[in-house]
């Protein structure tokens, strides 16, 4: 028996311009050449990666890159460390650079700070592609931390410059800055969080309040997905995280529920539409 669910997709959810730019670039080359190497997942969404792989995208690691010569390789929106460019030059690899302009600007700022002999802290996720690229600008000397508690184990200089991965929580960044100031450090803080991400907080809060249930669609690897899911759940406890329509079960919904679907900046619109169709069929 149909549950008569009213399902709406958030029109502002989905790919940010950095991801759109990288995917458009990849699709253009795939159409011309039939294949293209990409350094790491082009986007933190397995379903979108699978769609592009079917068109000829070949995802490679930094180790795989060492074996390539005379090929084209796409650098995704997350950006890369200077060593990658150097290696490409030495091995006649053409880099198709789809680094997000917001990330590139941040890389340049961090490099300038490092060149000016500033001690650098980066609020970001360990091992995240963007963070590896940022750390590369400092000769890997920057201190990366996900949580302020991690810094209890670190012998910090009395004065340093603080940066953030572009997809982190603005509130958390400022809470960290204030706590470090309260601890007596001299902190030169740079809010380098992408506004296309942070402006979504308020939009998603408003969206999430309007429905009985919220289905948040995102890849499990997406940092930004984790932050935005928390935003939705904070205003609507009936928020569910799914990466694939198959993860949905009918018992989530009650008859006549209103359901809102939204997602991360790495979630494709076609996937949210697929989730909508699945829910409407329940």
- Supply the residues annotated as catalytic: 130
Distance, in Å, from the CA atom of 282 to the CA atom of 280, rounded to the nearest integer, reads: 5
Q: Quick one: DSSP state of residue 120? A: E
Burial class of residue 170, CB neighbours in 10 A (0-12, 13-18, 19+):
middle
**Mind giving me the DSSP string for 146-199?**
SSGGGGGGS---SEEEEEE-TTS-HHHHHHHHHHHHHTT-EEEE-----HHHHH
Residues 6+ apart with CB under 8 A from 150: none
Instruction: List the beta bridge partners of residue 188.
Output: 161
Q: Quick one: DSSP state of residue 93? A: P
CB hemisphere CA count around 89 (13 angstroms): 5
Contact 166, 103 (CB under 8 A): yes
């Amino acid at each position: 028996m149909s549950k008569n669910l009213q399902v709406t997709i958030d029109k502002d959810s989905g790919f940010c311009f950095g991801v759109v730019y990288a995917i458009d670039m990849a699709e253009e080359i795939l159409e011309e050449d039939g294949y293209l190497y990409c350094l790491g997942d082009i986007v933190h969404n397995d379903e979108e990666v699978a769609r592009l792989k079917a068109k000829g995208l070949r995802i490679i690691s930094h180790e795989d890159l060492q074996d390539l010569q005379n090929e084209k390789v796409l650098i995704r929106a997350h950006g890369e460390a200077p060593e990658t460019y150097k290696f490409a030059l030495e091995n006649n690899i053409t880099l198709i650079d789809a680094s997000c302009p917001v990330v590139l600007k941040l890389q340049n700022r961090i490099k300038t700070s490092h060149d000016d002999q500033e001690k650098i802290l980066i609020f970001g996720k360990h091992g995240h592609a963007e963070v590896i690229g940022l750390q590369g600008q400092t000769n890997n000397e920057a201190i990366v931390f996900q949580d302020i508690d991690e810094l209890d184990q670190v012998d910090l200089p009395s004065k340093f410059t603080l940066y953030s991965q572009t997809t982190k929580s603005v509130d958390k960044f400022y809470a960290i800055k204030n706590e470090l100031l309260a601890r007596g450090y001299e902190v030169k803080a740079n809010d380098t969080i992408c506004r296309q991400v942070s402006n979504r907080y308020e939009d998603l809060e408003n969206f999430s309040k309007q429905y009985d249930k919220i289905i948040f669609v995102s890849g499990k690897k997406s940092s930004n997905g984790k932050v935005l899911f928390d935003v939705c759940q904070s205003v609507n406890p009936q928020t569910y995280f799914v990466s694939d329509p198959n993860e949905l079960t009918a018992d989530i919904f009650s008859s006549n529920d209103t359901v809102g679907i939204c997602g991360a900046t790495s979630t494709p619109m076609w996937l949210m539409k697929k989730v909508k169709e699945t829910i409407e069929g329940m």
